[in-house]
Amino acid sequence: MSTTRIKGLLKFDTISADLKIIAQKVLDQIRISEQEGNLLFQKAELPFLGTLANHIREKRHGDTTYFNRNFHIEPTNICIYTCKFCSYVRKPGDEGAWEYSPEDILDKVRAYDGKPITEVHIVGGVHPKRDLHYYGSIIKKIKEIRPDLHVKAFTAVELEFMINKAKLSIEEGLKVLKEYGLDSIPGGGAEIFSPEIREVICDEKASTDNWLTIHETAHKLGIPSNATILYGHSEKYKHRIDHLIRLRELQDKTGGFNTFIPLKYRSQNNSMSGLGEVSSIEDLRNYAISRIMLDNFDHIKAYWPMIGKETTQLSLSYGVDDIDGTIDDSTKIYSMAGGEDQTPQMSTEMLVALVKKVKRKPVERDTVYNVIKEY
């Protein structure tokens, strides 16, 4: 059906010749260039983008829509950095700052005893006193409590600091963390790769080259990871496309990325609040173009606590095939910035119903997309 729709687009006189070339490339499974990616942002209407992105999504996954049973642990929001877009960070002694002890963290894991959770997602601030052995020992104890639990932990920004603090190379540090029990790495900290934008919004944190190097090294060591972009702030379309191209190039080299997750800038309680936020229409355009450009990424994920349940449902027709997981109200990163869901929690039954309502097929997965159950 989606093939028929694209062929129909090729017959419309109202669609420009250059966009028709892109549509034909999608049909023929030919890679879209950087120039063509920019053209999609500049000239393509949402229905056109949705038709192309949905074709790719259905060719890869049909109606299957993935989710998992997961929870988050955020050990601290104390951070050495002060990124302008961040509503989460606090300094020691600030109101609203927290730092969980190792035992606090393990108690959070024990709270899921007997529950069919498959993943714990651990990210937080870059604490000035914590190195990889501190966090590695916690991972080791988590594995002792719950050997089957997949530990997805630490952004490249956190990893860079904790490994340097332990006076190890990136490769040495990742090897040590893998020995402690680290299974995979989330995609946070990428923000936007363009140096001119990065200098404005997060000039202190890990550079683009360091982020890419950490993920490339992890992949070579057999540690898969995710990738993200933070969009909808001060960047231009060309910066988004540049970001996608750099990720695509690294995926060509390693094949180690599980999924790509566009993250919407949320404007509450941070120093960039005056910028406002982009619309849901722009969210869908961004998902669709990401799906069209990232031909070597198997999955595109919509993070439902950030964009809300209704936009998440819509995104499943714009290239998205994954909606994250149950979360269990265990993350504050987006709720503190004004995310759509201030108490992000959905049961498996709620996730299944959300997907089925838009005529898609819910499938529970593990972190690396092995199927656990079809609904």
pLDDT, tens only, 204-243: 787 999 999 999 999 999 999 999 999 999 999 999 999 9
Work out the average pLDDT over 252-273.
Answer: 89
Q: Three-class SS of residue 294?
A: coil
Tell me which DSSP letter residue 30 carries. P
Query: What angle do the packed helices 2-9 and 17-28 form, to 10 degrees?
Result: 150
Residue 85 CB partners (closer than 8 Å, separation 6+): 191, 201, 202, 230, 233, 265, 270, 272
- All structural domains of the chain, each given as residue ranges with its CATH number in brackets, are 2-60 (no CATH), 65-374 (3.20.20.70)
The tens digit of pLDDT for each residue in 290-320 reads: 999 999 999 999 999 889 999 999 999 999 9
Q: Which pLDDT value is given to residue 57?
A: 98
The tens digit of pLDDT for each residue in 84-102 reads: 777 777 888 888 888 999 9
Closest CA to 366 of 67, 99, 139: 67
